[in-house]
Chain A
Amino acid sequence: MDEDDVVRLSGVTKTYWLGKVPVTGVTEVSLTVRRGSFSVIAGPSGSGKTTLLNLIGCIDRPSRGTVTVCGKDIARLADDHLADFRARTIGYVFQTFNLIPVLSAYENVEYPLLLTRTPVGERQRRTQAMLEAVGLADKHGQRPNELSGGQRQRIAIARALVKDPGVVLADEPTANLDSRTGHDIITLMRAMQQRLGTTFIFSSHDPDVMAQAEDLFLVRDGALVDRQVGDRA
């Protein structure tokens, strides 16, 4: 694995079982994602984008092939080690924001640092800085249900970036937002990626997102059908 590659998938196949019927999520996918890149896995609904993202995000294991993230073969890690690895290495931005409703905006952003047992002073400094970076420092005490969709997604972005992860995965992060807010979110993420040098991998079929991609992977029916690698943006 090239040191510049933060993610490598080699011959990855994922099969789900729907009762007793096997359903193939992705078939024989091999790809690499460059460190610090802004990559998009694009394709129509049901093409296998989310499956690939789940495998890269270490919340699923391949049926066949290897998935290596930041140098770790995830198939070799036990469940608790995989959880610890996710806590340190992977940032998530979900389509439906998935903020914890009983936590304030500040606490939501702070939460990943609790999982990595970051010292309290460092935790406060980074959380505050991240809230300021996404422009929501003044909303720190508000619960998710007191925030707009765009604000929630900003908090989710801050939560994903606060632990300085090796890779941030965003599963159709604009799908639940209006086009203007969606555009603002993509712009924010792009800016953060450029500022922090973090690797971003999106799954999306939003043209606005695809237009921002440096590396674009097109999937269809579970197979990687095209890749456009290089600074496309």
Chain B
Amino acid sequence: MTTITIAYRNIFRNRRRSIMTMLAIIVSAMAVVLFGGYVAMIMLQLETEFVRRSGHLQIFRAGYFDFGAGQPEAFGIGGYAALIDRLRADLVLAPKLRVVTSTLAVTGIAGNFAEDASKTVFAQGQVPSERERMRHWDDYGVGSGRHRTSALSDDDVEGGVIGIGVARMLFLCDDLGVNDCPAPPADLTTRVVTAQDVPDEDFSDLTALDAVEPAHTDPRPKLDLLAATAGGAPNVVSLAINRAESQGNKVIDDNFIAMHLTLAQRLVFGRGTPKVTAVVLQLVHTADMAAARAYLTRLFVAEGLPLEVRDFKDLNPRYGQITGLFRAIFTFIALIMGVIVVFTVVNTMTMSVMERITEIGTLRALGLRRGGVRRLFVAEGLMLGMIGASLGVGLALAAAAAINGAGLTWLPPGNADPVDFKLVTVEAPQLVLSAWVLLMALAALSSLLPANKAARMPVVDALRHV
């Protein structure tokens, strides 16, 4: 018969009160674990989405990140193929790497001349097979969802994908089968091109390009992409649109074009030496990101290469904003729950002390030290916390399993495609364990105040208490 045994029996002396206290702890544990699981899910899905899109790390020419947007010719990385080979063969880095690919960011004008429509766009040249491999990164098992297969392929150099906003503004919705495309305003659809609309410029170079191109037999809708070459001259390529895709963000939707790297390089560098704006590294595990970044930085400094490394958090500031927001909400909820637990346990234990003053006096008279009395009440608080937190965590895990098993999907912030709604609970044992331990500790600490009061009670006064 130990202090724990006595404490255990004592908490069931007033069953209703103890059950109400445990209920408060159970609800708190469930709230913390389930909401924590929800926040963890958002963070992991967000990270998964960003890592799939932009990799963990991107290597740029020094200065590109701050000054190079829209200037691929000035901030391009020449000899990028050798750099990629070098990274793939690096003994330290290679085991950590999943995909190493290159990308070329281009700003230009996309024109659908059949509809007399054009707009500025942000185009990204990619190696389709490597990008497709990146889209299957799922280190946390949270990104399965519904996979959209890539509409680009390595063999289709002319093919491209555009954002649904680009499709809408260039009047390609019907051709590309985009649903829910609003009809354009009347003054746009009835617009008649007049002589005054045609700028007084010489387009002979462009028409010459058309002249040398073979006649199109490709049935896909086309866009003409206009951009400045490295030498400053305008250049045009024709892009066959495979699909219009939602990018989960209106600004991107309205400006995005994905195309084959070769075509993008042809647009920017013509017949000159092709370059890329970034070498993209997707790692096997995010945990290796800081080490890989530091290693690369040291490597470039040691070899005097004018390159810099950025991680996906630098590239996607929204990641930090969204995770920060959810962390703050989680902290707020956890604090509220903690305060509820503290007040409930303090109230319960104070009532318990008040009801047992004579008993405390008796125990002290029999020879129990002040510390023994304190231990007894703290043990009772701890036990309330242990039972409540265990039940709460158990119920939360069961609820999470039921929710996860229901096959729900949802669209997390920043995502273009729906993903599985899977609360991250069992997969985040540190969250579950922390909630369990913290609630127990909180219950034990909350009982310290009434326990001290009980321990400091003069024995004579306690025995005299009626």
A90 to chain B, nearest CB (A): 8
Which among B10, B359, B369 has the greatest number of chain A C-beta atoms within 10 A? B369
Dominant secondary structure of chain B at its interface with chain A: helix
Q: Does A83 contact B (CB under 8 A)?
A: yes
B13 near A83: Cβ-Cβ < 8 Å? no
Q: Which residues of A contact B366 (CB under 8 A)?
A: 86-87, 92, 111-112, 115, 159
**Which residues 12-70 of B have a CB within 8 angstroms of A?**
13
Q: Which residues of A contact B460 (CB under 8 A)?
A: 54, 59-60
Q: Does B395 contact A (CB under 8 A)?
A: no
Q: Does B363 contact A (CB under 8 A)?
A: yes
A59 near B459: Cβ-Cβ < 8 Å? yes
Q: How far is the CA of A159 from the CA of B365 in the complex (A)?
A: 12
Q: Does A57 contact B (CB under 8 A)?
A: yes
**CB < 8 Å: which of B359, B364, B371, B372 contacts A59?**
B364
Q: How far is the CA of A114 from the CA of B365 in the complex (A)?
A: 14
Q: Does B247 contact A (CB under 8 A)?
A: no
Number of B interface residues in the complex (CB < 8 A): 22
**Which residues 414-445 of B have a CB within 8 angstroms of A?**
none
Q: Which residues of B contact A111 (CB under 8 A)?
A: 1, 366
Q: 1/0 per residue B346-375: CB within 8 Å of A?
A: 000000000000110111111111111000
Q: How far is the CA of A114 from the CA of B4 in the complex (A)?
A: 13
Given contacts A59-B463, A107-B1, contact A102 B6 (CB under 8 A): yes
Other A-B pairs, 10, CB within 8 Å; known A59-B459, A96-B358: A80-B369, A83-B368, A84-B369, A86-B366, A87-B368, A100-B359, A100-B363, A101-B359, A111-B366, A115-B372
Q: 1/0 per residue A116-142: CB within 8 Å of B?
A: 100000000000000000000000000
Which among A59, A79, A83 has the greatest number of chain B C-beta atoms within 10 A? A83
**CB < 8 Å: which of B10, B358, B359, B368 contacts A115?**
B368
Q: How far is the CA of A142 from the CA of B426 in the complex (A)?
A: 44
B367 near A115: Cβ-Cβ < 8 Å? yes
Question: What would be 12 A-B contacts, judged by CB atoms less than 8 Å apart?
Answer: A57-B365, A83-B370, A84-B369, A87-B366, A87-B368, A92-B365, A100-B362, A100-B363, A102-B10, A103-B1, A103-B9, A115-B366
B365 near A84: Cβ-Cβ < 8 Å? no
B217 to chain A, nearest CB (A): 91
Q: Which residues of A contact B9 (CB under 8 A)?
A: 102-103
Q: How far is the CA of A60 from the CA of B459 in the complex (A)?
A: 8
A86 near B367: Cβ-Cβ < 8 Å? yes
Q: How far is the CA of A90 from the CA of B371 in the complex (A)?
A: 20
Q: How far is the CA of A107 from the CA of B5 in the complex (A)?
A: 11
- List 5 A-B pairs, minimum CB-CB distance, nearest first: A87-B367, A102-B9, A59-B459, A98-B362, A86-B367
Q: How far is the CA of A60 from the CA of B464 in the complex (A)?
A: 12
Q: Which residues of B contact A100 (CB under 8 A)?
A: 6, 359, 362-363
Q: How far is the CA of A90 from the CA of B368 in the complex (A)?
A: 12
Given contacts A94-B362, A102-B10, contact A114 B1 (CB under 8 A): yes
Q: Does A88 contact B (CB under 8 A)?
A: yes
Q: Does A172 contact B (CB under 8 A)?
A: no
Q: How far is the CA of A102 from the CA of B459 in the complex (A)?
A: 20
Q: 1/0 per residue A158-188: CB within 8 Å of B?
A: 0100000000000000000000000000000
Q: Which residues of A contact B369 (CB under 8 A)?
A: 79-80, 83-84
